Structures are given as structure tokens and as C-alpha cells.
Chain A
Amino acid sequence: MTSLPETSSGKKLGLVIDLDTCVGCHACAVSCKEWNTTGYSAPLTDQNPYGADAAGVWLNRVHSYEVSPGTQGSGGMTVNFPRSCLHCEEPACVTVCPTGASYKRAGDGIVLVNPDTCIGCKLCSWACPYGAREYDDDHGVMKKCTLCVDRIYNENLEPEDRQPACVRACPPGARHFGDLGDPESDVSTLVRERGGYDLMPGLGYRPVNKYLPPRERRAATDSGPLELEPADVAAAAAGDGMFRWLDRVLSR
């Protein structure tokens, strides 16, 4: 049924992505592609992968934006912006599906596509405001982030590996996975403390994934660049015998 589940466990698994910390290395996107091309959504096909016009399905994309100084004098900044399915609470991608292939799980809120019943009409991708769904031309079905449903409950993996591949791969720890339905969870606390926000809340999709905004940059000073003191002056001022001796030796 592509009607949304009437009852919910209250559990809302999702990601919290820290735009302040993300360095734009694309490790999450590559790791996602690597895991999912053999996982639930397998295969994530590529067309002409070694040619001039390579194309293919990825479930996670990392954009980079330039934010030019705002009115509050925040200074310009570069913001790396990973984008994947937000596992919305009101996912129109699910309700528009004519076959029931697209569905939202009542137990944990994960939005999935059944690749065995999807007819590849692409309407769900039209209904998604976040561009999170990508059509697989070779497979003829729609592909999307599974929140690594085949990892997070997988008892064959070590406990620390039971989280989405993108989260596990992120070198600076900019991606966090957890239950956003539990106000006491680590991710909910992060969202509260850092002012996590929804993408395009006005559309009413109620995304579960949250983004943590870049922290405020230090205000630029008018005094010009700081100058370092020369080392020998510093050493003399410090009156350090060791430095004086070194200076003498090196000055010979």
C-alpha cells in the first residue's frame, strides 16, 4: 500500500548532517555507491562508465555552494552540502506511487522502493522536492537511499558497523545516524543544540533528516593581519639560555 502507515512506532530513523563540519570529500557518496551496488538496491548501474559521458545511479550527492556575505556581516563561506533521501514523514513520493512499490515502513519510518514491483513510471521522482530519487536506466526501476536497511539491523556485522555506510565512512564525523523520534537520542540532542533545520519545510513533506547550519564565523577585524615576532627577539625576551646558545651556534 502506498497510503502512509496509519500507525507509527514513533521511531524515526534518519540522518543529521553537519554542514559546519563537512569537508566535501565525497567519501560518503563513494561509500554509499560501493555498499548499495551490492545491497538492497543492487545493482546501482552505470552507463558508459569509462567513456566521455559517464552516467549512473548514486543515492547520495555532495554539492558545494558559495554563500556570499549576508546582511548580518557573516562573511562569505563555502558550504559543502550532501544530499540524499530525507525519509520524510509526509513523503508524496510514496503516495503518488501507482503500484505500491514505494512505501514507508511503519516500524522505523524508512522509505523504500520494492524493485520487484516498481514499474519505472518515474512519478515518485517528480513528487520528490529534494531530487533524492534516481532512475536506473538499465534496471528500469527507481533507486533511492535505503538508510542502509541491510546494515543497520545486520547482526552479521560488528555493532559499530550497524549504521549507514555514509555515516561510517565520513572522515570528519559530519554525519550522524539515529532515532529522531526519540527526543533524548544523541541525534535529537544535536539538532536541539545546534539549531538543526528541515529543507524546504514550507512544502509540508516533514523531512526526518536534519541539517546543522554552519557555525558563525569569527568576525573579521579591521587591524589587519597579525604579525609574528622574529624568533631571536622572542628568545631574547624570554631570556632562555638554550635559545641564546642555539642562536649563537646557528649564526656561525
Chain B
Amino acid sequence: MHPAYSVLLFTTFSGAGYGLMILLCLFAVAGAIPADPVMGAIGFGLSFAMVTFGLASSAFHLGHPERAWRAVTQWRSSWLSREGVMALITYVPAGLFAMGWVFVEDTSGVWALFGVAAAVGALATVYCTGMIYQSLKTIRQWHNDWVTSVYVLLAVATGALWFNALVIAFGEGRSLFTWLSIAALSLAMVAKFGYWHSIDTAKAPRDTGHATGLGRLGTVRQWEPAHTQTNYVQREMGFRVARKHAQKLRIYALLAGFIVPLVLCLAVAAVANGPAAAILAFLAAAVAMFGMLIERWLFFAEAQHVAALYYGADSA
């Protein structure tokens, strides 16, 4: 599948933004962090900025962005529509909770209800994002039980890294938060390994004989392509990454997305608080975002659509 940058940016940034939102809401409601108005403004500012930047960049993917409002109408059948609905709904309690925090300096009582609702909405939105991919039977690397878990865990993990950097910068750091980042990131890494193992060991990939139904007559090979120039189906669905490149990129994604941030988090845990810890925590978050972009690029590039079989792809 062709990795469109708008979609890579969308899922990476909105994922981190929703992850940060979930942790801000839950820890503030639990009273684990004080309702410091500046911290609330910067935290929610960052969260809303990432989410909104992600949603806006996904709109660039559309042929008719001015009609995007129509996408909230088909939530009965479409995971994409559900994602749109949840994304819009979540703004309401999240906005109210942020206002209570920043202007009233209160995150308890009725405000806490908004906080919990925002956290649930954020989680549901990321879940819908994962399901958009997982529900597609046409791509075996996406129609895989690990996909949504990986999306949710990565969103929480990257959100936790930003959350940790934020609270340390405001002198509210706790070893619990750092260890939460480490735990979330480790769990996400395990899920990602599970995903890679699952797609690498899948049984009997489909071939052109399967796609055309001619396989029962013998081995099917493309003899003459349907047209001399590439068409939309080939550009969008026929994108393939060389196996050796994919292996290299998996290592980069693993290093930037998981290993380096984990090491930096361990350093944060050792330093505990202060400017050095804040810088290390911020670095961990930034490096992880870079790693997530590689991971997301690979998620598309390694995905093999069955329609490519009609154009002579060897497997899907």
C-alpha cells in the first residue's frame, strides 16, 4: 500500500495527542497532578495541537476536503465515519475539562466527569483508527488481530512520553509516570513484535492463480499487462517495499521508536527530576515520534493488497 504522508502524520500525531489527553485527564481526575493552570494550558494545548494537526493533515488526503463534514453520517457501517464522529465528540468534554482546569483550577466534581468522558472518547477514537485498517479483508497484513492493539498501545505510549516530559518540566514528575512510560512502551514493543511475527509466519500467501481463479488449470503468470502505463490501482495498491529495505527499516523503527526512548526513560528514572530529566524526557518523546513515523510508513509499505495480484504481484 502506498504510504501517503498525510495519513502517516495523521495517525502518528493524533495518536500521541489522544494518548496525552487520556493521561492528562485520568491523572488529573485521580488527583495525581495538581490543577496548575499553566501546565493544563500547555498540556491540553499540545494535545489539541497534535490531534488537530493530525485531523487536518488527514483532510489533505481527501479529494474534496470541503465535503469532509459528510463523513460523520455513516457511523452505522463505517469505521472511518465512527472515527470522525468520536474525534469530534471528544473535543467537547476535553475542551470543558481543559477549561475547568485552566480557568477554574478544578479537576474534581463535575469537571472530573468531563475528564473521564474525554479519556474514554480519546481511547475510542484511536480504537476506531485501528479498526479502519483491521477491518479490511483485502490486506492480510492489516486484517490482523494485532493491528488495533498496536495502534492503541502506541498512542498511549507516545502520549505517556509527552505527559512525562510535561510534568517533569513543571516539577511535578514522579517515578510512577516514568515507569508508566517504560511499561507502556515495552508493552507496545511486545505487541509490535507479535504483529511482525504474525505477518511473517502467515500461511500460504495468495497468488495470481488464486485471484483469477485460473490456478486450478496450472501456474498463472502475467503475460501481457492490461496497460502500458501505471494506473491508480498500481500506484495505490501495488506499492511494494523490498524485503531487505523492510528489514533495515524495522530495525530503525525498533531503535527510534522503542529502544532509544526506553534507554532515555531509564536515564530519566535515574535523574528523577530537574532540567536534565525534563530534557531527557522530552528527547525520549521526540525520538519516539520519529520512530513512530518509520513504523507507520512500514505499516503501509509492508501491506500487500490482493488487487495487486492482477498486476502480477507474486503474493498478497
Contact = CB atoms under 8 A, between A and B. Distances in A.
Contacts of A68: 218-219, 221
A30 B208 CA distance: 25
A118 to B, nearest CB: 7
B221 to A, nearest CB: 5
A134 B64 contact: no
B201 interface: no
Interface stretch (A52-60, A152-160, A218-226, A242-250): A52-60
Nearest to A127: B136
B306 interface: yes
A119 interface: yes
A146 to B, nearest CB: 17
A119 B64 contact: yes
A111 interface: no
A83 B63 CA distance: 25
Contacts of A76: 218
Interface stretch (B72-80, B271-279, B282-290): B72-80
A132 B292 CA distance: 32
Contacts of B84: 98
A98 B223 contact: no
Interface string B207-218: 010111110111
Interface in A65-122: 65-71, 74, 76-79, 81, 83, 92, 94-101, 117-122
A2 B77 CA distance: 7
A79 B222 CA distance: 10
A131 B217 CA distance: 23
A70 B81 CA distance: 46
B237 A98 contact: no
B62 interface: yes
A141 B237 contact: no
Number of chain A interface residues as a range: 35 or more
A134 B137 CA distance: 19
Given A65-B220, A79-B214, A131-B237, A123 B310 contact: no
Contacts of B244: none
Interface in B198-247: 206, 208, 210-214, 216-227, 229-233, 236-237
Given A126-B305, A129-B137, A65 B63 contact: no
A97 B230 contact: no
Contacts of B225: 63
B136 A120 contact: no
Interface string A140-165: 11000000000000000000000000
Given A119-B65, A121-B71, A125-B232, A96 B78 contact: yes
Nearest to A205: B137
B226 A100 contact: no
Contacts of B70: 98-101, 117, 119
Contacts of A61: 226-227, 231, 310
A203 B64 contact: no
A124 to B, nearest CB: 10
A79 B81 CA distance: 41
Contact of B306 (A2, A117, A200): A200
B80 A197 contact: no
Contact of B64 (A1, A53, A140): A140
Contacts of A203: 137-138, 306
A10 interface: no
A213 to B, nearest CB: 7
Contacts of B149: none
A185 interface: no
Given A2-B78, A55-B232, A119-B70, 10 more contacts: A96-B80, A99-B70, A119-B68, A121-B62, A123-B132, A130-B307, A131-B307, A199-B211, A199-B213, A214-B217
Q: Which 3 A-B pairs have the closest CB atoms?
A: A120-B63, A140-B63, A131-B307
Interface of B: 1, 61-65, 67-68, 70-74, 76-81, 84, 132, 135-139, 206, 208, 210-214, 216-227, 229-233, 236-237, 305-308, 310-311
17 contacts: A2-B74, A2-B78, A3-B76, A55-B229, A63-B311, A67-B217, A67-B220, A92-B136, A99-B74, A119-B68, A119-B71, A121-B63, A122-B236, A125-B237, A126-B237, A140-B62, A200-B211
